[in-house]
């Protein structure tokens, strides 16, 4: 009996080892390098991420538009479009192939939501709660949207979708290879789902900070706005859980890192302002 039990345990262990080996091999063969020079897992291609984002964008925006909560303030909408237009121009210079993206931004009227995002393919949104609660300047809006655009430029959407796919594959393979109970697998699946809703990785956040502040500087927005933005975010956050902060981890050294990045991109800002004067 003991021998049979040991054999079963050995089979399970071997199965898990094989699964791990297969997944590692698959992940290594499905890696690409993004604009920041970091290798990413890309089981999902950028094109696939863009197509999936189109559907997600429609499903997100349509009910809000039907309720009259999209672009219902022409003056504010024009302001946001003016800012993002300058950022998009710089994004296209950085990645020329994105000229073919269907770039667009929506202003969502929700005074309680402090959030903004940019999906794969350039579809963006910013909530009035972020602008009004922070009393955001043009420069601070540019830093928010530059950061979000950078997530799209660095292919972070496809990367997160690929991680989700890898998690699902691992769970499915493990379920077939072991005699785990339905309850155990349900808990595992729930844990995987929770993991997918955790904040962006430090690596992707650092990339978006670095690329975003450069985009904004080249578009003519002073890099110091990146620091004041996060100062306001931290001050206003208090005991509240802003959606933006829940998906964008803010380590204590972030402001220092942004100050350092600001000094690095300051020449881009000065060159942009000089060009605007001429």
Catalytic residue set: 148
d(CA 13, CA 22): 14
The residue count of the chain comes to 278
Pick from 275, 260, 270, 271: nearest CA to 226: 260
Going from the C-alpha of 42 to that of each of 37, 73, 94, 157, 163, the distances in angstroms are 14, 39, 21, 10, 8
Structure tokens at 207: 């990339």
In whole angstroms, give the CA distance from residue 264 to residue 262.
5
Q: Whole-angstrom distance between the N-terminal and C-terminal Cα of the chain?
A: 87
- As given in the structure block, the two tokens for residue 161 are 């979708």
CA atoms within 13 A on the CB side of 166: 25
Q: Could you tell me the two tokens for 6?
A: 């040991």
């Amino acid at each position: 009996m003991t021998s049979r039990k040991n054999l079963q345990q050995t089979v399970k262990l071997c199965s898990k080892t094989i699964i791990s080996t297969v997944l590692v091999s698959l992940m290594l063969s499905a890696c690409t390098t993004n604009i920041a020079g970091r290798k990413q897992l890309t089981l999902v291609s950028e094109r696939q991420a863009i197509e999936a984002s189109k559907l997600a964008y429609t499903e997100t925006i349509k009910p809000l538009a039907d309720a009259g909560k999209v672009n219902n303030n022409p003056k504010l909408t024009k302001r946001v479009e003016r800012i993002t237009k300058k950022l998009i121009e710089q994004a296209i210079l950085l990645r020329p192939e994105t000229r073919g993206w269907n770039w667009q931004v929506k202003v969502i009227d929700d005074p309680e939501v402090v959030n903004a995002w940019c999906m794969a393919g350039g579809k963006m949104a910013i909530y009035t709660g972020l602008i009004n609660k922070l009393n955001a300047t043009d420069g601070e809006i540019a830093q928010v949207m530059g950061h979000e655009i950078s997530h799209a430029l660095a292919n972070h959407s496809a990367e997160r979708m690929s991680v989700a796919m890898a998690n699902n594959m691992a769970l499915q393979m493990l379920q077939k290879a072991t005699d785990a109970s339905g309850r155990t697998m349900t808990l595992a699946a729930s844990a995987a789902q929770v993991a997918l809703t955790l904040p962006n990785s430090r690596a992707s956040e650092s990339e978006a900070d670095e690329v975003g502040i450069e985009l904004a500087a080249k578009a003519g927005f002073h890099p110091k706005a990146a620091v004041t933005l996060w100062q306001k975010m931290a001050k206003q956050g208090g005991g509240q859980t802003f959606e933006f902060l829940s998906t964008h981890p803010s380590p204590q050294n972030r402001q220092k890192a942004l100050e350092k990045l600001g000094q690095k991109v300051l020449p881009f800002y000065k060159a942009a302002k000089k060009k605007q004067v001429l």
